[in-house]
Amino acid sequence: MSEFVVLGDEAVALGAIHGGVSSCYGYPGTPSTEIMEYLLDYSKEKGGPFASWSSNEKTALEEALGTSFAGKRAIVTMKHVGLNVAADAFMNGALLDIRGGLVIVVADDPGMHSSQNEQDTRYYADFARVPLLEPVNQQQAYDMTREAFDLSEKMGVPILLRLVTRLSHSRAAIQSSPIREENALNKADNKQDWMLLPANARRRWDSLLGRQKDMIAYSENSSVNALVMNEANRERGVITTGLGYNYYMENRGELTDNPSHLHIGVYPVPEEKIRKLAAHVKELVILEEGYPYVERLIAGLLPRDLKITGKMQNIVPLQGELTPDNVRPALGLPVRDSSVVSSMDLPGRPPQLCAGCPHDDTYRVIKEVQAELEESTVTSDIGCYALGALPPLSVPETIICMGASITAAKGSSETGLKNVMAVIGDSTFLHSGMTGLVDCVSSGTDVTIIIVDNETTAMTGGQTTILPSSRLEQVVTGIMGDGEHVITIPAHRKSHEENKVILRKELAYKGVSVIIAVRECIETARKAKKKGS
Amino acid sequence: MKYDIILAGVGGQGVLSLASVIATAAAKAGFKVRQSEVHGMAQRGGAVMAHMRLADGEIFSDLIGQGTADMVISMEPLESLRYLPWLSPEGILVTSITPVKNISNYPEESQIMEALSELPSVRLVDDKALAKEAGSSRAGNMVIVGAASANLPLGMKHLKAAVDSLFSRKGEAVVQANYKALDLGSHIS
Ligand code: SF4
C-alpha cells in the first residue's frame, strides 16, 4: 500500500487505473475534468490505459459501451449536466448485458460553483434502474471506483459513481491497494443481449427488473450503508447520504442524545435498514447532499406518525451545498454566530474574461455593430465567452445549455426577431453546435453564427479541441454546402474596423452566415510557451 | 489538536500554491490535512477562497464552520475582509496590503485599512516590497506564509522543506529567494 495526496477526482482516476480499466473517455466539465486529466497524463507516461477526450458525453459513453462489449473495463467521466447529453445512451446501456465493467462517473455541482443547474444524479440511477455509489471522502472515492467495476460485472449493468464539487476538488491522503490486471479481450457471446430491437429489449428490460432484488440485497449488505443503533435513544434517528455524513460527524460531538445513525452510500436504498431505524424512533433527520431524494422516497413507506425533518420543510436548505453550519438547525444545535465583523460594505468580485482575451475583441465588434442597429439579439453558449454577459460587455441575452446558442437563435429568428447572432466556442460547436447548424441550413434561417475559436477548451483549463481548429472552416463549409458565407476573421483589435464591416454585411444577408473569429486563448498560449521554453 | 485556515485571494494570484506549501509542510510535520480548492469559473479574476484543515486526528468536513477558523490568510486586503465571518474571536487575520483593483467599484484603500485596523488581531504584510527585497517579485506568497508562520503550528524547518520540495525543480536561485521571502515575512509582527 502506498499513500497518495490527491483530489477527489484524482482518487477516482487512480481507483480506475488500479482497478484494471482499459479505456477512459470523457468530455471536460468542471468539476469532473481532473479525472480524465489524471488518466491522460498517466496514460501518456505509462503507455496505457487508453484515454481520450470525446466530442461530447454521449459519444464518450457510447465509446465506453464498445469497450465493455469487448469484455474490457471502461470508465466515462462527465459533469451532471453532461449526463443529460448522454442520457439516451445511458438509459439504453442499462439494458445491455454489460460484461466488462462500465463505470460512469458524474460530478454534481450543488451550489452551482460553475454550472447552469443543480440536478441530482441519483435520480438518473433510479430512472435507469442501476446502482449508484456515492463516496464521502477521497479514500472512498478510490475504493468505490474499484468496487464499481466489480459490481458492474457482477450485476451486468453500468454503475454510476456520483461525486460533488466539494469532494472532486478537495485534497487529502489515500491508501492504495494492489493493481488488478486488465480483462482479456472477450467479445460478448450472445449478440441478442446487445441489440435493442423490441423483442430483445423487452426481454432485457424484464431481466433488469428481475435483478433489482439483487441490487437491493447488495446495498442492504454493504458495509458502506452502516446502521449504528443506539437502543437507549428512541427519540431521534439520523440518515445521512453523501457529504451529509461529514457534516453530521463534524457536529456530532455537540449532540447530547447520541442518535441512531444510518449512512447511505450505495443505492438503491437499503429498505430493511431504513425500516429498522424508522421503527425505532419518533423523528428521522435526513441530511443529504443534493435533492431530497431519500427523503421523498421513504416518506410514503414509513408510518405516518413518524416525523421527518429534512429538505422538504426547508429545515435543511433545499438549494446549495450542505455545510457544517447549515445542517445544525435540523440537528437541534444552535446557529453559530460570526463574532468578528467588519463595518465595511464589500463589493462583489465576479469572474471575468482575462485581460487581452480574444473573446473580448469579438464582443466589442458585436456591441458596436449592435449600437448601429434598431433591433438585434445575441444568444450565447457555455464557455469562457459566457463571461461576456457580465459588465462591462453585457452582450449575450441567452445562455441555456451546450449548443443551444445556435438553435435558440434559429427559433428567435424564425419567430420574427431581426439581426439574430449566435455566439459559440469551437469546442462547444463540435460538442453539440454542429447539429444546430444543420437545422439552420436545412431551413435557410436568417442567422449570423459567430464561432469564437480560441483553439482550446478554455473554461475547463485548456484541453485540446477535439479537431484541430484549422479544420473548423472545412467542417462548416461542408455543412453549409459552399463557403460563400463562411468567413474567417482574426479576433484582434488591429482588425476591429474590418471585422465590423464583415459583421454588418453578414447581418444584412438573409440566410445562414458563419463568421469564425480566430485567436488563441492567451492562457493556453502562455502555458504552451512555458512548456516549450 | 486542530488548526483551521481560510485562504483567500483573487483568481490567478497563486492562492493554491500558497496553500500547497502549508499543506506540504503540515504533512511533513505529521498532521492530517484536508484542503478544498477552487477550480473553474471562479478563477478568472474572481474572488477565490479555500479551506484548509490540519489536525492530529480524523477530519470529517472539508469546510470550516463559521466563527471557528484559527486564521484567515489573504493575498489581497479587500478579499481578507470578505471571509471574516469564518474567523473565530481568538483567530488572526494575515493579509497582503497590495490591492488588486480589477473591479470598477473597488473601495478607497484608506477605508479598507481602517476596517482592517478595527480587528482584534491582524497582521498586515507589504508582500510586494519584501518579495522584491528577497530577489523575486513572484515570492510574495512566501512572504505571506512567513508572516503567518509565528501562529501556524508548524516550524520554519517544515516550511523550508516544503519550499524545497515544491521549488527545487526550478533551480537553486528560486529556492533561495523563497527561503529569504519566508524569513523576511516571519519578522513581521
Ligand atoms: S482563459 Fe482564455 S478564453 Fe478564457 S477568458 Fe482567459 S483568455 Fe479568454
Q: Using one digit for the tens of pLDDT, what is the confidence trace for A502-524?
A: 999 999 999 999 999 999 999 99
Is B81 in Cβ contact with A342 (below 8 Å)? Answer: yes
- The pLDDT score that the predictor gives to residue A22 is 98
Report pLDDT digits (tens) over B122-173.
Answer: 999 999 999 999 999 989 999 999 999 999 999 999 999 999 998 999 999 9
- DSSP string across A157-196: S-EEEEEEHHHHTEEEEEE--PPPPPPPP---S-GGGG--
Q: Where are the alpha helices (DSSP H) in A267-308?
A: 271-280, 293-299
Grid cell locating A282: 419518533
pTM more than 0.80: yes
Please check the confidence at residue A406 and state whether its pLDDT lies above 60: yes
The predicted pLDDT at position B80 comes to: 96
Q: In which order are the strands placed within the sheet that holds A236-241?
A: A227-228, A260-264, A236-241, A283-288, A307-309
Terminal C-alpha separation, chain B: 24
CA distance B153 to chain A (A): 19
**A-chain residues near B95 (CB < 8 A):** none
A414 pLDDT higher than 70: yes
Query: What pLDDT, on a 0 to 100 scale, did the predictor assign at position B13?
Result: 87
* pLDDT over 70, % of chain A: 99
Cell 453530521 found at: A248
Instruction: Outline where A47-111 has alpha helix (H).
Output: 57-69, 80-85, 87-93
CA angle A221, A224, A230 (to 5 degrees): 85
Neighbours of A216 (CB within 10 A): 17
- Interface-testing mutation among A114, A338, A343, A390, with chain B (most B C-beta atoms within 10 A): A338
Q: What is the pLDDT of residues A289-306, one digit of tens each?
A: 999 999 999 887 787 789
How confident is the model over B27-35, as a mean pLDDT? 94
Q: Given this model, what pLDDT does residue A67 score? A: 98
pLDDT in tens, A301-359: 787 789 999 999 999 999 999 999 999 999 999 998 777 777 788 999 988 999 899 99
- Find cell 447529453 and name the residue: A85
Q: How much is the average pLDDT of A150-168?
A: 98
- pLDDT for A528 equals 86
Please work out whether the CB of residue A520 comes within 6 Å of at least one atom of ligand 1: no
Residues of A in contact with B27 (CB under 8 A): 5, 173
User: Exposed, middle or buried, A46 (CB in 10 Å: 0-12/13-18/19+)?
Assistant: exposed
Residues A461-474: tens digit of each pLDDT:
899 999 998 999 99
Integer angstrom CA distances of residue B80 from A213, A348, B148 = 54, 13, 14
* Contact call for A170 and B35, based on CB within 8 A: yes
- Chain A hits for B64, Cβ within 8 Å: 324
Cβ within 8 Å, pair A171-B37 = yes
Question: Is residue A334 classed exposed, middle or buried when 0-12, 13-18 and 19+ CB atoms within 10 A define those classes?
Answer: exposed
| Confidence label for B55 from pLDDT (cuts 50, 70 and 90) | very high
